[in-house]
Amino acid sequence: MTSAKTGGLTHLDAEGRARMVDVSAKPATAREAVATGFVRMAPATLALAVSGGGKKGDVRAVAEIAGVMGAKRTSDLIPLCHPLALTKARVTVNVAEGGLEVIAEVRTAGPTGVEMEALTAVSVACLTLYDMLKAADRGMVIEGVRLLEMTGGASGDWRAP
Q: Cite the active site residues.
A: 131
Q: How far apart are CA 91 and CA 71, in angstroms?
A: 9
Question: Is residue 113 classed as helix, strand or coil in its secondary structure?
Answer: coil
Residue partners of 6: CB distance under 8 A and separation at least 6: 12, 13, 14, 16
Q: How far apart are CA 12 and CA 74, in angstroms?
A: 20
Residue 115 dihedral angles phi and psi, to the nearest 5° = -65, -35
User: Is-contact 75 84, C-beta < 8 A?
Assistant: yes
Residue 27 dihedral angles phi and psi, to the nearest 5° = -75, 150
